[in-house]
Amino acid sequence: MDRDVQFIGQSGAFLDAVERTSRAAPMRRPVLVVGERGTGKELIAERLHQLSKRWQEPLITLNCAALPETLIEAELFGHEQGAFTGATRARAGRFEEADKGTLFLDELATLSMAAQERLLRAVEYGEVTRIGSSRPVRVDVRIVAATNEDLPALAEQGLFRCDLLDRLSFEVITLPPLRVREGDIHVLSDYFGRRMSSELQWEAWPGFSDAALRSLEEYQWPGNVRELRNVIERAVYRWDDASNPIGHIVFDPFDSPWKPSAPAHRSSDTEPAPEQPARAATSAELDTVSDLRTAVDAHERAILEQALARHRYNQRQTAKALSLSYDQLRHAMKKHGLSERG
């Protein structure tokens, strides 16, 4: 593998996932890779392919979320000329392109039920039928699928086919998020930092200051390794003194006193009404409002303060309780000056 797709890490959770990948690679059966964004699901798919007997055959990748529902089936299974508007010529789908090799389906949970049904038949019988054709085509394809969703929960809700889930989950490799990979933040930071310093043609790698290393360890890394790489490369690139350890880390490149403020509210004609709306204010309370933005901000701040106190200022639990992402909660806390509270 080249320098961009190496596996860097020493934590037990990470090495266990890599070991399970290596054991599953020679098998012909499907593998499901589960993990948060930025944890390296595509790297696992590449390793499964490279260590298999199919390594000389094609590895075809399809991001299921990148195409509209109307085109995903044509992209997967191909189509004949004139099968639909715009089909000016026949085209082989990704299954046919991956014949004898590996097909990596990223963002699997976004597939429509119709596409799931056709995918199940392809996996079960090794046959695909182009849209507009009645003649099935035999294919020999190993499926590797990835998702950051809880597929068993989606299956219970009727949003994902149970039989397809059973067929694809011969082996399930769940990648640990970076925040639980003990010791790997320092290892990865050093690796990405050295690589960036080499690109900048520094004479030597100065490393990071103790304060910078502590800030890297304390950060929760919602974007995992992908985010860490950006943060480290940005820190090295912005550091002007290559003779001293890097001492300044910028986690949010958008943070600026001059950045545009988000609108207080965006209305949409298609926005669904909440199932359980918050308690409406009384007439007496509404009569006292003379500045809408100030009143909204005060209400939002009160909700944040109460929720943070209720969860003992555990920000992840608070974000979950308020149906926010960790980043959204951090942004809201910073907006109201609550970042240092607790």
Domain segments of the chain as ranges: 3-176, 180-238, 283-335
Please report the pLDDT score of residue 98 as a whole number: 96
Q: What is the pLDDT of residue 231?
A: 97
Please say whether the dihedral angle defined by the alpha carbons of residues 265, 271, 275 and 281, taken in this order, is positive or negative: positive
CB 168 within 8 A of CB 30: yes
Average pLDDT, 10 consecutive residues per value, the chain (342 residues): 64 95 96 96 96 96 89 89 79 93 96 92 92 90 97 95 96 96 96 96 95 94 96 95 93 86 59 45 58 81 82 80 86 79 44
Fold of 283-335: Arc Repressor Mutant, subunit A (1.10.10)
CATH number of 180-238: 1.10.8.60
Q: What share of the chain is helix, strand, coil (3-state, %, to 5)?
A: 45, 10, 45
- What integer pLDDT is reported at residue 88 of this predicted model? 76
pTM: 0.72
Burial 176-202 (b: 16+ CB within 10 A, else e): bbbbebeebbeebbbbbbbbbbeeeee
Q: Is 17 exposed, middle or buried (0-12, 13-18, 19+ CB in 10 A)?
A: buried
Tokens of 302: 């009160």
* Cβ neighbours of residue 140 closer than 8 Å, sequence gap 6 or more: 99, 100, 126
Cβ neighbours of residue 176 closer than 8 Å, sequence gap 6 or more: 11, 13, 14, 17, 35, 39
Class of domain 3-176: alpha beta
